[in-house]
Chains A and B, each alone.
Chain A
Amino acid sequence: MSGITHPLHRFIRPSVSSTTNCPGCGNGIIAQSILRAVDQLGMDLEDFVFVSGIGCAAWIPSPFFNADVLHSLHGRPIAYALGIKMGLPEKKVMVVSGDGDLAAIGGNHLIHNARRNVEMIVICVNNRIYGMTGGQAGPTTPPGVMTTTTPYGSFENPFDISCLVISAGASFVARWTTVQARELTRSIIKAIQKKGFAFIEVFSQCPVQYGRKSGLNGSVQMMEDFRQRSIRVKKAAGLTEAELNNKIVVGELVDIEKPEMMEEIERMKAKARERAQ
Chain B
Amino acid sequence: MGNEACAEGALAAGCEFAAGYPITPATEIANRLAVRLPQMDGVFLQMEDEISAMAVIIGASWTGKKVMTVTSGPGISLMSENIGFAVGVETPCVIVNVQRGAPTTGMPTVGVQGDVVQAKHGSQGDYQIIALCPSSPQEMFDYTITAFNYAEKYRTPVFILTDAFVGHMREEVVIPEAEAIERVFRKIPAPRTDPCTIKGFLDEDIAPMPIFGRGFKAHVTSSCHDETGKRNLIDLSSLDKFVRKLSNKILKHKEEITLVKRNYEGAEVVLVSYGPVARAAEAGARLSREAGLPAGTLRLITIWPFPDHEVEKMAKIAKKVIVLENNLGQLYPYIKSAAAPFAEVSFFPPRLIGQIQDPENIVRMIQEVLR
Contact = CB atoms under 8 A, between A and B. Distances in A.
Contacts of A273: 38-39
B230 interface: yes
Contacts of A84: 59-60, 62-63, 212
Interface stretch (B43-51, B128-136, B323-331): B43-51
Interface stretch (B215-223, B263-271, B294-302): B215-223
B61 interface: yes
Interface size class of A (residues with CB under 8 A): 35 or more
Given A73-B85, A82-B56, A84-B62, A268 B196 contact: no
Given A49-B213, A87-B62, A72 B56 contact: no
Given A86-B45, A269-B43, A68 B59 contact: no
A44 to B, nearest CB: 10
A49 B231 CA distance: 18
Interface in B32-70: 35, 38-39, 41, 43, 45, 47-49, 51-52, 55-65, 67
A272 interface: yes
B225 to A, nearest CB: 10
B39 A49 contact: no
B360 interface: no
B344 interface: no
A232 B67 CA distance: 45
A276 B42 CA distance: 14
A272 B39 contact: yes
A83 interface: yes
A41 to B, nearest CB: 18
Contact of A46 (B61, B82, B215, B231): B215
Contacts of B60: 83-84, 86-87
B141 interface: no
A62 interface: yes
Contact of A15 (B19, B47, B64, B196): B196
A43 interface: no
B38 A83 contact: no
Interface size class of B (residues with CB under 8 A): 35 or more
| B contact face: mostly helix, strand, loop, or mixed | mixed
> Which of A46, A49, A82, A87 counts the most chain B CB atoms within 10 A?
A87
Nearest to B216: A68
A236 B212 CA distance: 42
B55 A73 contact: yes
Contact of A91 (B57, B61, B64, B213): B213
A155 to B, nearest CB: 28
B49 A108 contact: yes
A79 B219 contact: no
Interface string A69-104: 111110010011111111110010000000000000
Nearest to A90: B213
Contacts of B204: none
Contacts of B220: 68-71
Contacts of A109: 48, 52, 55
B17 A86 contact: yes
Contacts of B221: 62-63, 71
A229 interface: no
A88 B211 CA distance: 11
B81 interface: yes
Contact of B63 (A15, A76, A87): A87
A112 interface: yes
Nearest to B218: A68
A71 B219 contact: yes
Contacts of B231: 63, 71
A22 interface: no
Given A68-B216, A85-B59, A86-B17, 11 more contacts: A46-B215, A49-B212, A49-B213, A71-B231, A83-B63, A86-B56, A87-B63, A91-B213, A112-B47, A271-B38, A272-B38
Which 5 pairs show the lowest CB-CB distances between chains A and B? A83-B59, A87-B63, A272-B38, A79-B55, A79-B52
Interface of B: 17, 19, 35, 38-39, 41, 43, 45, 47-49, 51-52, 55-65, 67, 81-82, 85, 196, 212-213, 215-223, 228, 230-231
